[in-house]
Amino acid sequence: MKITFSIIKADVGGWPGHVKVHPDLEKIAYKQLIGAQRSKILKDFHVTHCGDDLELIMTHTNGVDSKEVHELAWNTFLEATEKARDLGLYGAGQDILSDAFSGNVRGMGPGVAEMEFTERKAEPVIAFMMDKTEPGAFNYPIYKIFADPFNTAGLIIDPSIHDGFVFDVWDIKEHKNVKLKTPEEMYDLLALIGAKSRFVIKHVYPKKSSKLPSDEAAAVISTEKLYQIAGEYVGKDDPVAAVRAQSGLPAVGEVLEGFSHGHLVSGWMRGSHNGPLMPVSVEQAQCTRFDGPPRVTALGFQMHNGKLTEPVDLFDDPAFDYVRKQSQQITEYMRVHGPFEPHRLPMADMEYTTLPKVMKKLGKRFTNVK
């Protein structure tokens, strides 16, 4: 049976500031999605948050870009926005950038990661959710999971993944994409995805030689860029991803290993700073110090006939204490730089923040150097 796994998310108000989602908003989402499950639009769902982002994890048989499912998510975010306004939450309706729903939430503010695939006998799926960063933050871990033999032992020792994978990379400025195979095109892939603010991994596919269908994604990442929609800074794009695991794909532990480093990502305070990506439990997914540091959560499900088990909160484990400690040391080190690059993002990336307004004011005072 083909099932669609959809994660659709939006920041519709923070509590307080940009720290986390108020539980009343999650209650509204739960009520909406359980209604949709009863009326058979959804097979199953799970509502959660990462920082100030409300996350709808859904399974159904309507395929990607389904009008019904997108409309459900859109209406859920609208109702949650109303509640956020009633409660006086910060930035109520932050990611609701359009008035009228026209069949799809893409380009309207929310982030979307969806994939349709033939469910295997046992189907482990992990939902990753990040706050205070951008879609390119997934490049490093997704590359490690599917292409780095120092991360994923199976690339060397498991014949079912030894041939490697196909990466679908999107140029989010030029709106083009290119598919690159690993290991043979690994250097070309890295040449692109190292520039993470422009080239982002959208999908990873099994190769034709795999026992899995090569046109059904093994991983999908949201790539919406809010400033391109809004034309100004309205918060970061706080991405999500879904990754399938085991039996012809990296094992769950190989997938999680990709997040064991606390790599530097852009976002954090005012979407304007580089900092470490800290893997945390849902309980700890609240962005506090300097509105961060940027965080990632992971919920692991077994899916069966589209039904989801209760999730396992995968970073809620002492095995990730060390990377959390390391992320805090990096936080301390980066913060000492204050307004200096590379803690603050380079000028090109600051274009869609409030900095140009400050620069404009100073502009009049510049005179030509004699």
- Contact set with ligand 13P (CB under 6 A): 11, 18, 51-52, 94, 131-132, 235-236, 238, 269-271, 291
CA–CA distance, 132 with 268 (Å, rounded to integer): 5
Smallest separation (angstroms) from ligand 13P to the CB of 271: 5
Residue among 178, 170, 175 at smallest CA distance from 202? 170
Smallest separation (angstroms) from ligand 13P to the CB of 251: 31
* Given the residues 11, 44, 95, 131, the one annotated as active site: 11
How many chain residues interact with Mg ion (CB under 5 A)? Answer: 10
Specify the residue, 164 or 271, whose C-beta has the smaller distance to ligand 13P: 271
CA–CA distance, 250 with 230 (Å, rounded to integer): 37
Specify the residue, 11 or 44, whose C-beta has the smaller distance to ligand 13P: 11
* Given the residues 20, 168, 236, 313, the one annotated as active site: 236
Residue nearest to Mg ion (CB): 18
Interface residue with Mg ion, options 9, 18, 181, 295 (CB under 5 A): 18
The entry of Mg ion, ligand 13P, none that residue 13 binds, CB within 5 to 8 Å by partner kind:
none
Interface residue with Mg ion, options 135, 235, 262, 293 (CB under 5 A): 235
Binding of residue 237 to Mg ion (CB under 5 A): no
Binding of residue 52 to Mg ion (CB under 5 A): yes
Q: What is the DSSP string of 220-288?
A: EE----HHHHHSS--S----EEEEE-SSSS--HHHHHHTTSS--EEEESGGG-EEEE-EE--STT----
Give the DSSP H or E segment for 130: strand 123-131
Q: Is 11 a catalytic residue?
A: yes
Handedness of CA 59, 64, 65, 68 (dihedral sign): negative
CA–CA distance, 185 with 198 (Å, rounded to integer): 19
CA–CA distance, 197 with 60 (Å, rounded to integer): 32
Give residue for tokens 């859920």: 76
For 312, phi and psi rounded to 5 degrees?
-100, 130
Residues 79-108 that bind Mg ion (CB under 5 A): 91
Alpha-helical runs (H) found in the chain:
23-38, 67-87, 139-147, 154-157, 186-193, 226-230, 252-257, 321-335, 347-350, 355-363
The entry of Mg ion, ligand 13P, none that residue 270 binds, CB within 5 to 8 Å by partner kind:
ligand 13P
* Given the residues 9, 233, 237, 238, the one annotated as active site: 233
The entry of Mg ion, ligand 13P, none that residue 271 binds, CB within 5 to 8 Å by partner kind:
ligand 13P
Interface residue with Mg ion, options 44, 114, 123, 131 (CB under 5 A): 131
Smallest separation (angstroms) from ligand 13P to the CB of 353: 8
Q: Is 322 a catalytic residue?
A: no
The entry of Mg ion, ligand 13P, none that residue 60 binds, CB within 5 to 8 Å by partner kind:
none
Residue among 216, 208, 235 at smallest CA distance from 52? 235
Binding of residue 135 to Mg ion (CB under 5 A): no
- Catalytic residue ranges: 11, 233, 236
